[in-house]
Amino acid sequence: MAYVNALTALADPTRRAVFERLRRGPASVGEVAAGLPVSRPAVSQHLKALKLAGLVDGRPDGARRVYYIDPNGLGELRRWLDQFWENALEAFKNEVEKPKTVKRRKNP
Amino acid sequence: MAYVNALTALADPTRRAVFERLRRGPASVGEVAAGLPVSRPAVSQHLKALKLAGLVDGRPDGARRVYYIDPNGLGELRRWLDQFWENALEAFKNEVEKPKTVKRRKNP
DNA sequence: ACATTTCGTAAGTCATCACTTACCGTAAGT
DNA sequence: ACTTACGGTAAGTGATGACTTACGAAATGT
């Protein structure tokens, strides 16, 4: 069920920007906030949501706190998506292969 | 950039329910709405968003309209996620392999 | 031609949530 | 001990968006 959190977390543009910033390596809250047009508390709240979704994790570094990407949440999301993917491909094939076979109402 | 639409589309619970309903095969708007606790227009609006994201498509069937899952949007989302995945794994390895190598402030 | 079914859109309402400022706790430097 | 730097949380505000009802358009059946 955690893929739901990951999905909703990554839906927000700012939160996605935070996540993509961390993709270039670990960073502190202030460092992340410095590259974004929002305040530092906003970033802190976003990181909390991302952590809850298993998308990031953080370790203390003195008074600072360094965050980095956690593959767990990403993995769950990937599995959910893959499971969907196979199903969708097969269903789509059935759809495009017989577009004329759909039930007609009159003049059969 | 279409993965953004797919992400925001799948973030909503009801819209995800619509999408997962279509996973069990094509269905009309009314059929989808019958299995959900929301009105038919709501489902129609959700299908519009899903279509815009490339996640579903629809074909007319008389007065009805049958919707089915479109792999395109799902594929874009998958690619974006995969591209993230490799990066995240490597970065995470670097993180957990040297947790003691982080810069200490005093008493080095 | 008329009634019925099915769907999409418009307009309005309500809740959710992203953001801000203010404040407090904690860690390190002097 | 005091000051400075860094983060997390609380409280309040504004905007986005998900839902409803009402209406109109298009296709089928009698």
pTM (global) more than 0.85: yes
For residue B56, say whether its CB is under 7 Å from any atom of strand C. no
Is residue B45's pLDDT more than 70? Answer: yes
* pLDDT score at A87: 77
For helices A2-11 and B13-22, what crossing angle results, to 10°?
120
Average pLDDT rounded to a whole number, residues A82-107: 60
Q: Are A54 and A9 in contact (CB under 8 A)?
A: no
pLDDT of residue B87: 78
The pLDDT of residue A33 is above 50: yes
Averaged pLDDT of chain B: 87
Sign of the dihedral defined by the CA atoms of residues A24, A27, A29, A30, in that order: negative
Question: A50, A66, A74, A98: which to substitute to probe chain B, counting the most B Cβ within 10 Å?
Answer: A74
Instruction: Tell me how close the Cα of B40 comes to any Cα of chain A, in angstroms.
Output: 23
Q: CA(A69)–C1'(D11) in Å? A: 30
Cβ contact B32:B18 at 8 Å: yes
Q: Which residue of B has its CA nearest to A66?
A: B102
Measured CA distances, B65 to A21, B27, B30 (Å): 42, 8, 9
Listed range (A40-44, A61-65, B80-84) with the worst mean pLDDT: B80-84
- Neighbouring C-beta atoms of residue A96, cutoff 10 Å: 9
